[in-house]
Amino acid sequence: MISALILTYNEETILNQCLEALSFVDEIVVFDSYSTDNTLKIAKQHHAKIVQRNFDNYANQRNAALKEVNKSSEWILMVDADEIVTPELKEEIKNKIAFQNEITMYRVRRKDMFQGKWIKQSSGYPTWFPRLFKNGCVTVEREINEDYKTTGKEGLLKEHLIHFPFNKGLTWWIEKHNRYSEMEAHKMLTEINEPFKFIDLFSKNPVIRRKAQKLLSYQLPFRPHLIFFAFYILKGGFLNGNAGYTFCKLRKMYETMIDLKLKALKNKY
């Protein structure tokens, strides 16, 4: 048995597509942060189990949501409301869970869509996101840009999720990342003094590798400019045309907000 788990807050623009792509699972749990639009109506149309909780941070929200899955479900597929499971990924998931092995968590790549196209180079592809877990074998840490810990081994799925981060419009995306930058700055204030190990940059563990990359990046001068250069020039974001250039500028803006808020917090304390 497999359950799908989706965190929601005012997701009416894309939730129906997300849930339609999950027709192959045995249970859908919509874990909602008290939406005020048609999110719950859409969830009910797909016969989802609805649980509501006031949002505090992503780690707490996801850990609370994991406890609401049917205990008889062996596997949990956790997707965001703006992610669509492709038919190819569906078949791969069904094949993977049919066989018993030591893997308790699978990671998957996303294709980020912007202005009607896949912005492969400018989005930093490939990034591996934990999405398929054995029930009871995963916990979530870190309040923003979460880390996932599992009791067993990790595996990688070949197929992709389709990600629509701008489905609510550009203004909403900017407002969302304004909130994210606040949370990220507070988190970095506690992490920035942790010891940096150069060898961690090459770790096979993506959690360790990403943390090392963050610790290194926050020591660099002109960090937002360097990130723009890395994504637009070195990673080839220019190949994505106007969409790639715009997205790289938005990424630079987000990193600038984090830096400014981090500096303000340091001055405060």
> Per-residue pLDDT averaged across 221-249, rounded?
95
Round to whole Å and give the CA distance between 95 and 191.
39
Round to whole Å and give the CA distance between 2 and 255.
37
pLDDT band at 208 (very low <50, low <70, confident <90, very high): confident
Residue 39 has pLDDT above 70, yes or no: yes
Round to whole Å and give the CA distance between 176 and 171.
9
Round to whole Å and give the CA distance between 152 and 130.
13
> Residue 207 contacts by C-beta under 8 Å, 6 or more apart in sequence?
147, 148
Least confident of 8-12, 162-166, 261-265: 261-265
| Token pair recorded at residue 190 | 């506690």
Alpha helices by DSSP H, 46-127: 58-66, 87-97
According to the model, what pLDDT value does residue 269 have? 66
Round to whole Å and give the CA distance between 228 and 219.
16
pLDDT band at 210 (very low <50, low <70, confident <90, very high): confident
Per-residue pLDDT tens over the stretch 24-33: 999 999 999 9
C-beta of residue 78 within 8 angstroms of C-beta of residue 127: no
Per-residue pLDDT tens over the stretch 87-126: 999 999 999 998 878 999 999 999 999 999 999 999 989 9
pLDDT band at 266 (very low <50, low <70, confident <90, very high): confident
Buried b (16+ CB within 10 A) or exposed e, 104-125: bbbbbbbbbbbeeebbbbbbbe
C-beta of residue 244 within 8 angstroms of C-beta of residue 121: yes
How wide is the angle at C-alpha 210 spanned by C-alphas 257 and 164, nearest 5°?
65
Per-residue pLDDT tens over the stretch 176-204: 999 999 998 988 888 777 777 768 777 87
Tell me the backbone φ, ψ of residue 34, rounded to 5 degrees. Answer: 60, 60
H/E stretch holding 210 reads helix 206-217
Distances (CA, A) of 21 to 88, 95, 146: 11, 17, 24
Per-residue pLDDT tens over the stretch 138-181: 999 887 788 899 999 999 999 999 999 999 999 999 999 999 99
Paired sense of beta strands 27-32 and 103-114, if any: unpaired
Question: Which domains, and CATH codes, for the chain?
Answer: 2-163 (3.90.550.10), 170-268 (no CATH)
C-beta of residue 134 within 8 angstroms of C-beta of residue 104: yes
Round to whole Å and give the CA distance between 146 and 136.
18
According to the model, what pLDDT value does residue 71 have? 92
According to the model, what pLDDT value does residue 86 have? 98
Paired sense of beta strands 138-141 and 147-150, if any: antiparallel
